[in-house]
Amino acid sequence: MSDLEKAILKTIAFFDIFSYPLTASEIWKWLYKPQGKYLLSDIREALETSYVLKDLLVSQEGFYSLKGRSHIYMRRKQNNNLAERKFRKVIYLSKIYRFIPFVKMVAVCNSLGYSNAGEKSDIDLFIISRRGTIWLARFFTILIVKFLGMRPTEDSKKDAFCLSFFIDQDYLNILHSRMGTDDVYYPYWISNLIPVYDPDNLYEKFLEANSWYKDYLPNAYANEFSKEVKTSKLSNVFSQLFLFCFHPPFLRRFIYNFYRGLQIKIIDKNLKSLINIDTRVIVNERMLKFYSNDNRELFAKSWRERVRKLVKN
């Protein structure tokens, strides 16, 4: 089995975990750790001519999946259609967040990042805060979604917002929160971020700070969102007033400690018990990450099992 055939199978195996078939161009973009440099034409040629790949893959209207998994093609189409509705909600919320001076970037992450969120799933956001205000960014962003009734509940997560990952704009490198070198999910997580509100071009700086993900996905490139939310004269004026009222220079440390203490006090007991013992729940002045159900280890195990069955020396 050639290096390219192995890389193609490893890539398709990863997205198979999420029932997501890929086009040839997506396989090229997300090609996992190839030993050589390959063009899109190389991918297409391999898919069309390789007997190894033809024996293990099935194609339906240009979407490639593992043999026996052709039914996931319809699921992808359905979820792609759902994505438009969910992105409209993200745009609506981001237009409100632009009035908060502590929010410097809002990006869609996880399944919606590649338009694969299900009907009943929530919407995951990744937020970069103004320097030194990460706890204020978290407080006001969560306060707004609670006020709007957009937080997940035990009864329903449909189109609700999960705000569980914040970083400070001065600390963009998230390598330390990777789950070891076997964390196959994290490079894909980075590559699938969709910036919806990014007035200071922090998304580009974030990718540069995390260029290590290109060691895994050398063909990955920055994503663009055609309906990216922009600042306005009104939002600029309001945010400055907001900043002066809630973060005046002479009270910054006192206010920051107040909001930090308030939120730590009301953090769920289960999350508190997990703080900083591994990479699931991270709480410091640079990063706030609250994923008690972090499935990266499960994804890595599931991926390895698929690869073991598919890839032979």
- Does residue 309 fall inside a structural domain? no
CA 192 to CA 22: how far, in whole Å? Answer: 14
Question: Do 129 and 51 belong to one domain?
Answer: no
- Does residue 37 fall inside a structural domain? yes
CA 63 to CA 191: how far, in whole Å? Answer: 20
Residue 161 — φ and ψ, nearest 5°?
A: -105, 130
Residue range 280-306: mean pLDDT, rounded: 93
CA–centroid distance for 222 within its chain:
13
Question: Do 155 and 276 belong to one domain?
Answer: yes
Question: Do 106 and 59 belong to one domain?
Answer: no
Do the strands 63-66 and 57-60 form a parallel or antiparallel pair, or are they unpaired?
antiparallel
Of 70, 92, 124, the one marking the end of a domain is 70
Give me the percent of the chain exceeding a pLDDT of 90: 89
- Does residue 197 fall inside a structural domain? yes
Residues paired with residue 58 on neighbouring β-strands, in sequence order: 65
Instruction: Answer for the pair 31, 64: CB distance below 8 angstroms, yes or no.
Output: no
The pTM for the full model equals 0.94
Tokens of 176: 């330390």
Which CATH number do you get for residue 111?
3.30.460.10
Residue 154 has what pLDDT? 80
Question: Do 65 and 193 belong to one domain?
Answer: no
Kind plus residue range of the DSSP H or E element containing 167: strand 161-168
Band (pLDDT 50/70/90 cuts) for residue 171 is very high
Residue 294 has what pLDDT? 85
Residue 157 has what pLDDT? 87
Question: Do 269 and 139 belong to one domain?
Answer: yes
Range of the structural domain that residue 214 is part of: 82-294
Give the single-character DSSP code of 22: B
Strands (E), 169-286: 194-197, 281-283
**Given a cut of 70, is residue 313 above it in pLDDT?**
no
Question: Do 124 and 249 belong to one domain?
Answer: yes
Question: Do 43 and 108 belong to one domain?
Answer: no
Question: Do 49 and 185 belong to one domain?
Answer: no
Tokens of 311: 């890839």
Residue range 83-99: mean pLDDT, rounded: 97
- Does residue 90 fall inside a structural domain? yes
Question: Do 64 and 92 belong to one domain?
Answer: no
- Tally of domains within the chain: 2
- Does residue 155 fall inside a structural domain? yes
Q: Kindly report, residue by residue over 130-151, the tens digit of the pLDDT.
A: 999 999 999 999 999 999 999 9
Kind plus residue range of the DSSP H or E element containing 129: strand 123-129
Contacts of 269 (CB under 8 A, 6+ apart): none
Question: Do 64 and 104 belong to one domain?
Answer: no
- Does residue 243 fall inside a structural domain? yes
- Does residue 304 fall inside a structural domain? no
Tell which residue, 68, 69, 52, has the closest CA to residue 18: 69
Question: Do 96 and 200 belong to one domain?
Answer: yes
Residue 214 has what pLDDT? 98
